[in-house]
A = this chain, B = another copy of it.
Amino acid sequence: MRINWGLIGGGEGSQIGGAHRIASGLDGAFRLAAGALDVDPNRGRNYAISLGIDPERAYGDWRQMLACEKARPDRIELVTVATPNSSHFEISKAFLEGGFDVLCEKPLTTTVEEAREIVRVAKDNGRICAVNYGYSGYPLIRHARAMVARGDLGRIRVVMVEFAHGHHADASDSDNPRIRWRYDPMLAGVSSIVADCGIHALHLATFVTGQAIQSVSADFVSTIPGRQLEDDAFVAFRMTGGVVGRLWASAIAVGRMHGLTIQIFGEKGGLRWHQEQPNQLYWTPVAGATTIIERSAAGLSPEAYRASRLTVGHSEGLLVAFANIYADLAEILLSRKAGIAPNPMAWSFPTALDGLEGVAAVHSAAASARAEGAWVDLPTG
């Protein structure tokens, strides 16, 4: 009854792999049935077996996995791609073309063209390509989106997002291989902190406002000698429905642990939410007092209730947010099998279009930064 699920990447010691396994299993809907977990085939197979995967489905690489799974009657129904960024495109494309639904880690691809291709391939093959902007799974983020959608804030004027941390602030760490590659354009592409973290904040802006990013003006700086890519950035943007956006992203903001924050200001009121305290949403109607919306409190939107597992006051964290992406996918996959319509709220997970927009925003911001902040239109327009 559980959905057969496959994982690519996320080998031993990987945090993101562990998070996907927990999130996919949280509600008991998925079963880790197959995996190609490591770039080293033996290590990957052994780890897969240690996780309880049937040895014949503990694959040495994703190509083998694709070939074998396609041939199985009990083939996996969803595959998660949690490999290094540069391989997202090739793997996701191959699985989509192979008829599998895919959940790809962000960023979807490393170029806009590739992202466009993924969007096309998913559509042509009638497959789901989800993208793991996991923060969008938080119940109160979904409530914020519902509030905006039903008009509580009126027309949105400004959205301010931040993703500031200080975990790359230590200059003596510059030879640390876990950090160094992130600032090397040969390995990380056109952007570091915006591509790595800012992209989540930008997605939240689009997710909550329901508008796409249209143009950007960026100021990128690299504050530590030896770094070629930005470790601190400021990005102004405009959205398709007229919203004015502002992003601050930083990896050298010492003292900020995980400063993912969104503030949305509309003509009827404003909302504020911080990832480090995800169980509260602050809502202020124009000319009124601020109220604290608690996750699971009476009166919340159905979108928020559906995404919450505990009653009010019991803290829920990031793993539950991730699990909500999987819960959406499970709802859709199971409904499809049953030949019934899924709960429309299940279509809350981010898709390849969101992935494309993120990649496009990052590339456009990098181009703007190279042009001293000149406004650059997104190629998705």
Contact = CB atoms under 8 A, between A and B. Distances in A.
Interface string A238-252: 000000101010101
A43 interface: no
B315 A309 contact: no
Interface in A201-252: 217, 219, 221, 223-224, 232, 234, 236, 244, 246, 248, 250, 252
Contact of A294 (B171, B257, B292, B373): B257
A298 B294 contact: no
A185 interface: no
A188 interface: no
Contacts of A256: 263, 270
A244 B223 contact: yes
A232 B244 contact: yes
B28 A253 contact: no
Interface of A: 1-2, 15, 18-19, 21-22, 25-28, 32, 51-52, 157-158, 160, 164-167, 169-171, 217, 219, 221, 223-224, 232, 234, 236, 244, 246, 248, 250, 252-258, 263, 265-267, 269-272, 275-279, 282-287, 289-294, 297-299, 309-320, 372-375
B318 A286 contact: no
B310 A19 contact: yes
B286 A265 contact: no
A294 B254 CA distance: 14
A15 B311 contact: yes
A223 B313 contact: no
Contacts of A246: 219, 234, 248
